[in-house]
């Protein structure tokens, strides 16, 4: 077992972030246990586990080619498996392999020319959901597909670090790396998932317009075949999905026989269904802080269930930096962005959204990581200060007009738009931020993007001014500000650098970060990246979204975040 250093919060912060318990403990599935030792042995439950999802997934593949949408972690977990899997503490365990490669052994070798080689030895008797054997050739084929630039994933790590994937024999996956890559020994399903060659090879390779056809095959949705703990049985678009326990799951057949996933966009509807017993589990994003408060009040007296609250995804506001889209164009001026940042009242956000108990953010680095103090000392911070806003706007040629709104003799009245994805908490957040910016002297329109539209990566990148979103945690977020993360037609609008910021110094550090094995040097690179980000402000850090899941007392097994990494061990009584 290995640990990916500081990729996610390793501890919880303050009373708000503690697990709110009401009912039985999380059950026998301890967070530090090897999942291979937890193969299902108890009798299967005859009950169907009903899960509420915030949105309908665009795909259940962990590495989609379709336009980027909202990721639903629990869904990806149910149907997929990778070479490794990370537990609640971000410790990597073998999954489809017998053991993970170890540096400076035959399984992980540094090569004289500067590259590396890692060997993964698959567990015996692996199969796909349709019963076909899963072999090293399925990883070779997956690499051939994912490395195709026209399908949109080839430029992102770790794919852009891999030189070749080969099958040394049917049970051995050999990965040759162009240069050192620190996570080469713990590739997850989101990094390099296998693909069923026997299903997809007839449709590949593709060229020209065939790329769109390949990316739109029913395989990626209603006909999906994976190696995860559950197999897809039915997908009713706009309504639900149904899944059954997979007999051939390598870590053991799941203890819960059937799962039903309902698409419910309204968190208050999810709340009502949880309290009535119609839903057993609400996945991350299905309910928010306000609903969690009500659930705890209802469940605690009767031990009816548990609410799990953990540090979750970073919440931040993108600034549109595409010259052809930015309105006003003065958003391209860093002084304007700094002026806007000083006018964000984070305390009002904390009080209005989280009753003052939230974790506010000055960067993407959470206060729970071991190098937070280094980052905190180095970055530029923007405490609420309207005097500094005034000074910066004046330096950029703006003065307040008779109605108190900033105007420029050259650029006219400052007017922009703030967009959020439709959801009650997002809209409350937008109202609080909008009120503060208007008070400071900025004219601001508020816009709500429907959840269905937000599934389009192109739509999420086409905002005219400011766009608040979130998701992801840990060092994976660094890619959100690199040039390779800019959504564009060439990468099928994937990537989370939605404002299209590009900074050569940040990109240089990011590239070095992905090829450096020394932890101390990687920490220094993160500190430097955060200094650049907080100086240039392509985004405004806001807070760390509480990751909230809730489940009835009859369900045992979910741990702090309800991520489902060990879902095969969950039980429903």
* CA dist., res. 273 & res. 282, Å (int): 10
Q: Looking at residue 568, what is its pLDDT? A: 97
* CA dist., res. 35 & res. 56, Å (int): 29
Is the bond preceding 328 in cis, omega lying within 30 degrees of 0? yes
Candidate ranges 15-24, 70-79, 376-385; pick with highest mean pLDDT: 376-385
Give me the helix-helix angle, 386-395 and 424-440, nearest 10°: 70
Q: Looking at residue 209, what is its pLDDT? A: 67
Q: Looking at residue 357, what is its pLDDT? A: 82
Is the pLDDT confidence value at 44 over 70?
A: no
- Which among 183, 215, 177, 223 has a CA at the least distance from the CA of 199? 223
- Scan for tokens 């589990």, then name that residue: 281
Q: Looking at residue 1, what is its pLDDT? A: 55
- Average confidence (pLDDT) over 82-99: 93
- Scan for tokens 């149904």, then name that residue: 242
Dihedral over Cα of 462, 501, 319, 57: its sign: positive
* CA dist., res. 398 & res. 413, Å (int): 9
The pTM assigned to this predicted structure is: 0.76
Counting every residue, how long is the chain? 573
- The span from the first CA to the last CA of the chain, in angstroms, equals 32
Is the pLDDT confidence value at 494 over 90?
A: no
* The pairing of beta strand 240-245 with beta strand 230-236: antiparallel
* The pairing of beta strand 415-421 with beta strand 443-449: parallel
* CA dist., res. 226 & res. 64, Å (int): 13
Identify the band that residue 303 occupies on the pLDDT scale cut at 50, 70 and 90.
very high
* CA dist., res. 57 & res. 319, Å (int): 27
Identify the band that residue 29 occupies on the pLDDT scale cut at 50, 70 and 90.
very low
Other CB atoms within 10 A of residue 370 CB: 12
Q: Looking at residue 358, what is its pLDDT? A: 86
Q: Looking at residue 206, what is its pLDDT? A: 66
Q: Give, as one character, the DSSP assignment of residue 358.
A: S
Other CB atoms within 10 A of residue 163 CB: 13
Cβ–Cβ under 8 Å, residues 378 and 21: no
Q: Looking at residue 221, what is its pLDDT? A: 94
- Average confidence (pLDDT) over 225-235: 98
- Scan for tokens 């007296």, then name that residue: 301
Q: Looking at residue 69, what is its pLDDT? A: 53
Is the pLDDT confidence value at 183 over 60?
A: yes
Helices (H) and strands (E) in the chain, counts: 15, 23
| Neighbour-count burial of 237, counting CB atoms closer than 10 A to its CB (0-12 exposed, 13-18 middle, 19+ buried) | exposed
Is the pLDDT confidence value at 220 over 80?
A: yes
Q: For a pLDDT cut of 90, what percent of the chain falls above it?
A: 72
Average pLDDT score over the chain? 89
Lowest mean pLDDT among 51-65, 191-205, 255-269, 436-450: 51-65
pLDDT digits (tens, 9 = 90+) for 165-181: 999 999 999 999 999 99
pLDDT digits (tens, 9 = 90+) for 247-301: 999 999 999 999 999 999 899 999 999 999 999 999 878 998 889 999 999 999 9
What domains does the chain contain, in order, with CATH numbers?
313-545 (3.10.105.10)
Q: For a pLDDT cut of 70, what percent of the chain falls above it?
A: 90
Strands (E), 332-461: 359-360, 398-400, 406-408, 412-413, 415-421, 443-449
Q: Looking at residue 463, what is its pLDDT? A: 97
Lowest mean pLDDT among 92-101, 367-376, 435-444, 487-496: 487-496
Is the pLDDT confidence value at 10 over 50?
A: no
Q: Looking at residue 6, what is its pLDDT? A: 42
pLDDT digits (tens, 9 = 90+) for 510-552: 999 988 999 999 999 999 999 999 999 999 999 998 888 999 9
Distance of CA 284 to the CA centre of its chain: 11
* The pairing of beta strand 305-319 with beta strand 281-282: unpaired
The helix/strand/coil state of 436 is helix
pLDDT digits (tens, 9 = 90+) for 345-372: 999 999 999 988 888 999 999 888 889 9
Instruction: Pull the structure tokens for residue 299.
Output: 């469940």
Other CB atoms within 10 A of residue 563 CB: 21
* CA dist., res. 25 & res. 50, Å (int): 20
Q: Looking at residue 238, what is its pLDDT? A: 94
- Helical ranges in 289-423 per DSSP H: 289-299, 334-342, 346-354, 372-378, 386-395
Instruction: Pull the structure tokens for residue 532.
Output: 């650049």
Cβ–Cβ under 8 Å, residues 444 and 434: yes
């Amino acid at each position: 077992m290995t640990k990916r250093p500081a990729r996610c919060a390793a501890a919880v912060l303050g009373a708000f972030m503690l697990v709110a318990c009401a009912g039985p403990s999380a059950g026998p599935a301890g967070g530090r246990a090897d999942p291979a030792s937890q193969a299902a042995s108890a009798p299967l439950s005859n009950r169907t586990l009903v899960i509420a999802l915030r949105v309908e997934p665009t795909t259940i593949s962990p590495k989609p080619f379709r336009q980027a949408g909202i990721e639903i972690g629990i869904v990806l977990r149910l149907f997929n498996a990778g070479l490794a899997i990370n537990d609640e503490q971000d410790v990597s365990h073998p999954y489809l392999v017998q053991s993970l490669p170890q540096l400076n052994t035959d399984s992980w070798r540094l090569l004289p020319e500067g590259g590396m080689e890692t060997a993964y030895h698959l567990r015996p008797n692996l199969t796909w959901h349709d019963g076909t054997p899963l072999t090293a050739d399925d990883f070779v084929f997956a690499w051939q597909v994912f490395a195709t630039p026209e399908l949109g994933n080839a430029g992102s790590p770790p794919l852009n670090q891999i030189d070749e994937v080969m099958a040394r024999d049917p049970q051995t996956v050999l990965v040759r790396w162009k240069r050192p890559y620190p996570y080469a020994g713990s590739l997850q399903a989101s990094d390099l998932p296998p693909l069923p060659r026997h299903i997809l090879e007839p449709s590949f390779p593709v060229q020209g317009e065939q790329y769109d056809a390949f990316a739109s095959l029913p395989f990626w949705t209603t006909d999906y075949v994976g190696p995860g703990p559950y197999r897809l049985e039915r997908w009713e678009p706009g309504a639900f999905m149904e899944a059954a326990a997979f007999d051939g799951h390598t870590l053991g057949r799941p203890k819960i026989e059937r799962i039903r996933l309902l698409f419910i966009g309204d968190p208050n509807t999810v709340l009502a269904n949880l309290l009535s017993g119609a839903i057993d589990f609400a996945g991350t994003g299905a309910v928010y802080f306000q609903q969690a408060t009500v659930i705890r009040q209802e469940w605690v007296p009767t031990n009816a269930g548990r609410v799990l609250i953990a540090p979750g995804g970073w919440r931040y506001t993108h600034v549109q930096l595409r010259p052809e889209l930015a309105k006003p164009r003065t958003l391209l001026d860093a002084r304007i962005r700094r002026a806007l940042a000083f006018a964000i009242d984070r305390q009002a956000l904390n009080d209005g959204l989280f009753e003052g108990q939230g974790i506010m953010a000055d960067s993407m680095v959470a206060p729970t990581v071991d190098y937070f103090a280094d980052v905190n000392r180095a970055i530029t911070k923007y405490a609420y200060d309207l005097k500094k806003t005034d000074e910066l706007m004046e330096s950029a040629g703006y003065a307040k007009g008779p109605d108190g709104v900033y105007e420029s003799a050259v650029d006219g009245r400052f007017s922009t738009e703030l967009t959020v994805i439709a959801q009650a908490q997002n809209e409350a957040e937008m109202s609080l931020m909008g009120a503060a910016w208007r008070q400071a002297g900025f004219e601001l329109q508020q816009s709500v993007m429907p959840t269905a539209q937000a599934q389009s990566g192109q739509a999420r990148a086409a905002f005219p001014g400011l766009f608040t979103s979130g998701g992801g945690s840990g060092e994976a977020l660094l890619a959100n500000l690199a040039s390779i993360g800019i959504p564009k037609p060439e990468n099928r609008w994937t990537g989370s650098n939605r404002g299209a910021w590009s900074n050569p110094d940040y990109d240089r550090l990011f590239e070095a970060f992905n090829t450096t094995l020394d932890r101390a040097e990687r920490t220094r690179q993160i500190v430097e990246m955060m200094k650049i980000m907080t100086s240039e402000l392509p985004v405004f850090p806001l807070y760390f979204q509480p990751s909230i899941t809730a489940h009835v007392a009859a369900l045992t097994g979910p741990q702090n975040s309800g991520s489902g990494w060990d879902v095969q061990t969950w039980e429903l009584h």
